[in-house]
Structure 1
């Protein structure tokens, strides 16, 4: 897949570590201009770096104002782990992500690609459809009451699971939203990946974070995920819309087979 993103200008959130850092490295290596966003300063593998707290709507709006035009791709990778309070987690993983995406669409080039980094944790979204529909009206001012009403607190990591369920459903819902401009949206759902926040998952989820490891040959790495993101950013995927690629070592397929007795 050499040079499939050469010359493209791509904005990646969460570039200071893990999947975001590796995605920035791969894109830069393949000739893309990378605009990095993170709350922590890191200038590795980016042409321009923007420090921003994606839990703060005012900061997001300010970021949108200073970003350049003609952006060919947006990678919504930044996110908080399940050890964080539910309110803060949903501000970053959901409300901030949506605000940034909608705000940046006018600055996207025609034919641009939006890639949402979801998770295997969102695999059970069909069971959360009622809450997902209710979240259409979710905003910063009613977040606490929503968490209580729909039982998506940080207990047992539920807020994290819900944020990824929302993201997968939202990706499908926006399959044709910007079709008149050729802008597409897809998602990548990693399984357990060896990044700095993996211990947070193990601490919160316990055996749930690793219980299916016996069905895998190994844990994932950022090097497994970044090329999939790059593929979705390339012109090779212009007719892939609203799709979620499960890059998880076969874990989602295992769960599906188990659920249907296969």
Structure 2
């Protein structure tokens, strides 16, 4: 399905990123891994970069091939990380890398896939804060967090709310070039950071886990990311695919008294 495509995967060292790289290679893609940590498996080339650092992103963009068919933004920090760092990696770094690659490296017809989260389901209640974040950059993110009460686990939830909205908003931004943007929103996934979520969310996480028959595994999510990179997903634009074992359906029904 992906024979001959050159696809960049951030966060390729572990978890969903590593499994996505593996899946893309199985489907015939040339995979370029990006991570703060070294990647030795499932990639054809590796570049070390820190999405917290704009200069590191600039160096990465300059070093990457000048023809890229796809970008999978999988890298992210959990809710136990400092709030400003979460927003830098999960949103600001992701946006900068994406926009810079569109300008210089992404081919016409390229596919961009973000890893969002079920944590972003509450975005309609955060519209004003999402609008305020539009003008935030790496130098002003600290003040934004202080002014809008973005601290603790809220940073992670907000980062995913914003990412879902940003995906929706850019459904047609590069339509003339055939570049499409979509995201995938998993529920709990059995990765090295699952314990961080349970630690941070406490009883809420435990209640959600009781509803599920099991957490997802990276192998449940990676094929969906890979599909969005394929030509078979060409008519998906601005979509948010909820890969959560049905949890988002349950939460939506409960919100409207239908559960």
Q: TM-score, normalised by structure 1?
A: 0.97
Provide the rounded CA distance (Å) in 2 between the counterparts of 1:209 and 1:138.
30
CA apart distance, 1:213 = 2.3
Secondary structure at the aligned position of 2:139 is classed as helix
Provide the rounded CA distance (Å) in 2 between the counterparts of 1:211 and 1:118.
21
Instruction: Give the alignment of 1:172-187 within 5 angstroms.
Output: 172-187=168-183
Indicate which of 58, 62, 72 corresponds to 2:59.
Answer: 62
1:11 aligns with 2:31: no
Indicate which of 166, 169, 180 corresponds to 1:170.
Answer: 166
Provide the rounded CA distance (Å) in 2 between the counterparts of 1:226 and 1:31.
15
Indicate which of 19, 23, 28 corresponds to 1:22.
Answer: 19
The number of equivalent residue pairs is 257
Superposed CA deviations along residues 204-224 of structure 1, whole A, max 9, x for unmatched, are 111222312233221100000
Secondary structure at the aligned position of 1:139 is classed as coil
Unaligned runs of 5+ in 1: none
Superposed CA deviations along residues 189-235 of structure 1, whole A, max 9, x for unmatched, are 00000000001111111122231223322110000000000111000
Superposed CA deviations along residues 110-142 of structure 1, whole A, max 9, x for unmatched, are 111000000000010000000000011011111
Superposed CA deviations along residues 71-111 of structure 1, whole A, max 9, x for unmatched, are 11100110000110001111111110000000001311111
Secondary structure at the aligned position of 2:46 is classed as strand
CA apart distance, 1:180 = 0.5
Provide the rounded CA distance (Å) in 1 between the counterparts of 2:135 and 2:64.
27
Provide the residue aligned with 2:192 in structure 1. 196
Provide the residue aligned with 1:85 in structure 2. 82
Provide the residue aligned with 1:53 in structure 2. 50
Secondary structure at the aligned position of 1:114 is classed as strand
Instruction: Give the alignment of 1:90-239 within 5 angstroms.
Output: 90-105=87-102, 106-154=104-152, 157-239=153-235
Superposed CA deviations along residues 42-94 of structure 1, whole A, max 9, x for unmatched, are 12100000011110000000100011022111001100001100011111111
Most deviating of 214-223 and 116-125: 214-223
Provide the rounded CA distance (Å) in 2 between the counterparts of 1:208 and 1:76.
27
Provide the rounded CA distance (Å) in 2 between the counterparts of 1:192 and 1:212.
9
Secondary structure at the aligned position of 1:211 is classed as helix
CA apart distance, 1:241 = 0.3
CA apart distance, 1:30 = 1.3
